[in-house]
């Protein structure tokens, strides 16, 4: 499914509009009038396009000589909008630089300006043009899911598409907020959190029932009606009826105490305490805001911070700060407007959006979001009352987050400058990749790569590598490092080509904001290991003809593996150490420890997967339903492996052909 499909709910966008969204998402149907061999560029090229453009709404793209997209924009009239670029006067430095670099333009017409706005947001997120405002942190938000399928309802953390039947509550600002809330809701409502397969296979209550965090509907410790009442209470609480739920629990506790049933009264007391714990972590809960997202922007020092608070069912589900990439010449309202259209490109939109600044084309944006959401979306700037007080609170949070990021960026810049001085690098690196391997006696070997840049760790660019080579002797750290580096840089070469020496991968002309951007190619490789690992890495880079494209540094643990006594290895220099309290040493240790943490976590996840691996998973055509039927019939996978074809045919859902396939899988192997 394309993002256009996700952005256009069934029954909200008609087929013709949806078709336009699909074409734009896949880049089909673009008019490619710029590739006419005239050799025009800049304002002259744009003027040539103006002559053939219609007075119709649509979206345009500006491209450079290499075919990279510089800018994506929308227009009520393509002819009038694009003609503004061709005038060659009255432009800011940013626009003038963009016009000069334009070597081609591409267009698509739409039926309405609203449709053009939706396309623009979709394409900006896909293409990430240099001159647009870009939403950098674009992770999906977690939700709480109360299932509504054939089994007893459970409560879970959920991300991604809402493919499972149930009630969704959120969004929450972070996974930690969801985990904390579910943990408290378990104690308050005793809902199950186990998987369906575990639920169906239980013969006695699990530990969660023993510690009073689950009612154990799996083994009938609670009646279906009683458990359903608990589920309804949880829905009411998450739907904003918390006072009603707490009042009912308090009344039930009082009745139990009056009837001298102190054990039952204690249960209600603990459940009430759990509910209070949930609400204590929700911060402010305004009385007049039932469902809204609240945005405030703060600009200073060439950086913008947008703080968003999420309110659903009258409860505050957390907040998050964003730092969009935007030219310093853009106003707060311009950045906020562009941010909002991208923010809701793949996220559900509430019925009310409160913003700190009036944005251009605010009505148009509201109409576009209403089409996407399938309900009316109101965008407003609070002027008085509780909503104004709430906005002041969000704006103060935006300022605080901005100041913290500014201080962190300044500190990071000084550390990168010191790093460059220590290792005799001409300019401070903007992308440092740190590599580490993890395994136990050579088993479940993985490699981890973390990335650090001007703004700290860039976690969305971390990579993990499952060691695949059969030729590597278990425990051969050098061989593992060679495989990781070869796979990583072979892919980089394939995607971006071999860079020129000291190529920063980013053209920073007329765009000071890009000084904090992280390029595609690393400036420095930091290898967790000594001369042996460094030699292995340099050998691979030489084979790929990349020895002059990146600087490699080895970090070996010091005597007795003590932190602070590390030895550094670099081609052309003798091994050396840094003073124990050197800030650059702490900086390197932090990067190495982060790489170690990431590699260890990846290794543990792979090891856990191997431990829980079921032999039935290796058989093609055996999905969850058939696997469940086999395990229910035979008890264990080992018993399935010993079963005959006739026995396998007797299992529900297993055909004659499938029974023979299962039998052959286990009996063709001489080890079985």
Tell me, what's the pLDDT at 568? 92
**3-state SS record for 286-341:** CCCCCCEEEEEEEEECCEEEEEEEEEECCEEEEEEEECCECCCCCCHHHHHHHHHH
What are the structural domains of the chain? 3-127 (3.40.1440.10), 143-280 (no CATH), 292-310+320-331+349-403 (no CATH), 423-609 (3.30.420.340), 615-667 (1.10.150.20)
Question: Per-residue pLDDT for 15 more than 60?
Answer: no
> Higher confidence at residue 26 or residue 323?
323
> Higher confidence at residue 310 or residue 250?
310
Tell me, what's the pLDDT at 671? 46
Both structure tokens of 407: 């201080």
- pLDDT band for position 605 (50/70/90)? confident
Residue closest to 222 by CA, chosen among 194, 253, 243, 192? 192
Question: Per-residue pLDDT for 171 more than 90?
Answer: no
For the stretch 441-497, pLDDT in tens is 657 788 899 999 988 898 889 998 888 777 777 767 888 888 899 999 999 988 887
Beta strands in 430-578 (DSSP E): 432-440, 443-453, 456-457, 463-466, 524-528, 551-556, 567-570
- Residue labelled with tokens 């939109």: 349
What's the chain's length in residues?
A: 672
Q: Specify whether the CB–CB gap between 79 and 139 falls below 8 A.
A: no
> Higher confidence at residue 555 or residue 12?
555
Average pLDDT, the chain: 80
Question: Per-residue pLDDT for 26 more than 80?
Answer: no
> Residues 585-588: contacts with CB within 8 Å, 24+ apart?
587/415, 587/418, 587/419, 588/419, 588/526, 588/555
Lowest mean pLDDT among 238-247, 413-422, 437-446: 238-247
Question: Per-residue pLDDT for 5 more than 50?
Answer: no
> Higher confidence at residue 430 or residue 300?
430
For residues 367 and 109, give the distance between their C-alpha atoms in angstroms, rounded to a whole number. Answer: 19
For the stretch 526-546, pLDDT in tens is 998 888 889 999 999 999 888
For residues 455 and 321, give the distance between their C-alpha atoms in angstroms, rounded to a whole number. Answer: 14
For residues 98 and 82, give the distance between their C-alpha atoms in angstroms, rounded to a whole number. Answer: 13
Both structure tokens of 95: 């626009």
Tell me, what's the pLDDT at 523? 92
Residue closest to 335 by CA, chosen among 314, 356, 352? 356
Calculate mean pLDDT across residues 358-370.
89
Residue closest to 107 by CA, chosen among 89, 90, 123, 88? 123
Residue closest to 648 by CA, chosen among 637, 633, 668, 636? 633
> Higher confidence at residue 638 or residue 222?
222
- pLDDT band for position 32 (50/70/90)? very low
Q: Give whichever of 21-30, 255-264, 307-316, 543-552 has the largest mean pLDDT.
A: 543-552
For residues 546 and 259, give the distance between their C-alpha atoms in angstroms, rounded to a whole number. Answer: 81
Question: Per-residue pLDDT for 524 more than 90?
Answer: yes
Q: Specify whether the CB–CB gap between 297 and 357 falls below 8 A.
A: yes
Calculate mean pLDDT across residues 199-205.
85
For residues 158 and 177, give the distance between their C-alpha atoms in angstroms, rounded to a whole number. Answer: 12
Tell me, what's the pLDDT at 361? 86
Question: Per-residue pLDDT for 29 more than 60?
Answer: no
Tell me, what's the pLDDT at 14? 45
Tell me, what's the pLDDT at 226? 87
Q: Specify whether the CB–CB gap between 641 and 647 falls below 8 A.
A: no
Calculate mean pLDDT across residues 201-217.
87
Question: Per-residue pLDDT for 109 more than 80?
Answer: yes
Tell me, what's the pLDDT at 262? 75
For residues 185 and 456, give the distance between their C-alpha atoms in angstroms, rounded to a whole number. Answer: 35
Lowest mean pLDDT among 268-272, 390-394, 531-535: 268-272
Sign of the CA dihedral running 31, 36, 41, 47: negative
Lowest mean pLDDT among 228-237, 242-251, 370-379, 479-488: 242-251
> Higher confidence at residue 314 or residue 64?
64
Question: Per-residue pLDDT for 507 more than 80?
Answer: no
Cα–Cα distances (Å) from 121 to 58, 117, 462, in that order, read: 12, 6, 26
Tell me, what's the pLDDT at 295? 94
168, β-bridge pairs: 145
pTM: 0.64
Q: What percent of the chain has pLDDT over 70?
A: 83
Q: Distance between terminal CA atoms of the chain?
A: 43
Q: Is the backbone peptide bond immediately before 171 cis, with ω within 30 degrees of 0? A: yes
For the stretch 568-597, pLDDT in tens is 999 888 888 888 778 898 899 989 989 999
Both structure tokens of 313: 């069912």
Question: Per-residue pLDDT for 231 more than 60?
Answer: yes
Calculate mean pLDDT across residues 351-366.
90
Question: Per-residue pLDDT for 656 more than 80?
Answer: yes
Residues 6 or more apart from 473 whose CB is under 8 A from it?
442, 479
Tell me, what's the pLDDT at 667? 78
Q: Which residues of 453-482 are buried (b: 16+ CB within 10 A; e: fewer)?
A: bbbbbbeeebbbbebeeeebeeebbbbbbb
Question: Per-residue pLDDT for 395 more than 60?
Answer: yes
> What phi and psi values does residue 643 have, to the nearest 5 degrees?
-75, 150
Residues 6 or more apart from 106 whose CB is under 8 A from it?
30, 31, 32, 34, 60, 61, 63
């Amino acid at each position: 499914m394309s993002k256009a499909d996700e952005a256009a709910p069934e029954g909200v966008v008609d087929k013709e509009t949806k078709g336009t969204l699909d074409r734009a998402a896949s880049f089909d149907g673009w008019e490619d009038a710029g590739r006419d061999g005239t050799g025009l560029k800049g304002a002259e090229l744009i003027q040539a396009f103006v002559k053939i453009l219609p007075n119709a709404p649509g979206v345009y793209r500006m491209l450079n000589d290499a075919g990279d997209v510089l800018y994506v924009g929308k227009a009520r009239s393509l002819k009038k909008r694009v003609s503004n670029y061709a005038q060659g006067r009255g432009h800011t430095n940013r626009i003038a630089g963009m016009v000069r670099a334009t070597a081609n333009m591409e267009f698509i017409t739409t039926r309405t300006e609203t449709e053009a706005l939706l396309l623009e947001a979709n394409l900006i997120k896909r293409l990430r043009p240099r001159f647009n405002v870009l939403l950098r942190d674009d992770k999906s938000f977690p939700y709480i899911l109360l299932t509504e399928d054939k089994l007893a309802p459970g409560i879970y953390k959920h991300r991604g598409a809402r493919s499972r039947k149930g009630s969704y509550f959120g969004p929450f600002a972070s996974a930690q907020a969801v985990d904390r809330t579910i943990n408290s809701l378990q104690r308050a409502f005793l809902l199950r959190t186990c998987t369906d397969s575990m639920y169906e296979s239980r013969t006695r209550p699990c530990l969660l029932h023993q510690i009073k965090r689950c009612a154990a509907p799996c083994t009938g410790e609670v009646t279906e009606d009683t458990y359903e009442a608990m589920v309804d209470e949880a829905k009411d609480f998450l739907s904003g009826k918390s006072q009603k739920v707490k009042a009912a629990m308090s009344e039930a506790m009082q009745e139990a105490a009056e009837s001298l049933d102190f054990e039952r009264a204690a249960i209600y007391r603990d459940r009430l305490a759990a509910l209070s714990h949930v609400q204590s972590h929700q911060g402010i809960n305004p009385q007049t805001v039932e469902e809204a997202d609240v945005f405030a922007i703060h600009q200073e020092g060439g950086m913008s911070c947008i703080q968003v608070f999420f309110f659903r069912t009258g409860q505050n589900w957390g907040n998050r700060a964003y730092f969009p990439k935007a030219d310093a010449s853009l106003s707060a309202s311009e950045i906020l407007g562009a941010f909002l259209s991208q923010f809701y490109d793949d996220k559900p939109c509430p019925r009310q959006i409160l913003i700190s600044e009036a944005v251009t084309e605010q009505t148009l944006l509201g109409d576009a979001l209403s089409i996407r959401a399938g309900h009316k979306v109101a965008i407003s700037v609070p002027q008085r009352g509780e909503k104004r007080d709430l906005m002041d609170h969000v704006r103060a949070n935006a300022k605080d987050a901005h100041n913290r990021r500014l201080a962190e960026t300044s500190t990071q810049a000084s550390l990168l400058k010191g790093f460059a001085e220590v290792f005799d690098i001409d300019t401070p690196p903007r992308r440092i990749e740190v590599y580490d391997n993890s395994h136990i006696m050579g088993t479940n070997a993985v490699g981890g790569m973390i990335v650090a840049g001007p703004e700290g760790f860039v976690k969305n660019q971390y990579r993990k590598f499952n060691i695949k080579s059969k030729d590597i002797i278990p425990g051969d750290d050098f061989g593992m490092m060679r495989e990781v580096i070869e796979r990583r840089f072979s892919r980089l070469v394939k995607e971006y080509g071999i860079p020129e020496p000291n190529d920063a991968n980013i053209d920073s002309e007329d765009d000071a904001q890009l000084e904090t951007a992280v390029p595609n190619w690393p400036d420095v490789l930091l290898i967790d290991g000594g001369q042996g690992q460094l030699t292995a890495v340099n050998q691979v880079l030489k084979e790929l003809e990349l020895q002059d494209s990146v600087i490699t540094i080895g970090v070996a643990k010091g005597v007795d593996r003590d932190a602070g006594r590390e030895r550094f290895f670099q081609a052309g220099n003798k091994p050396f150490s840094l003073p124990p309290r050197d800030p650059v040493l702490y900086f390197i240790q932090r990067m190495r420890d982060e790489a170690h943490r990431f590699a260890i976590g990846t290794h543990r996840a792979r090891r856990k997967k191997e431990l829980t691996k079921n032999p039935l998973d290796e058989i093609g055509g055996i999905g969850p339903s058939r696997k469940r039927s086999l395990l229910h019939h035979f008890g264990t996978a080992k018993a399935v492996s010993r079963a005959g074809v006739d026995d396998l045919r007797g299992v529900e859902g297993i055909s004659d052909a499938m029974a023979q396939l299962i039998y052959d899988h286990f009996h063709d192997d001489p080890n079985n």
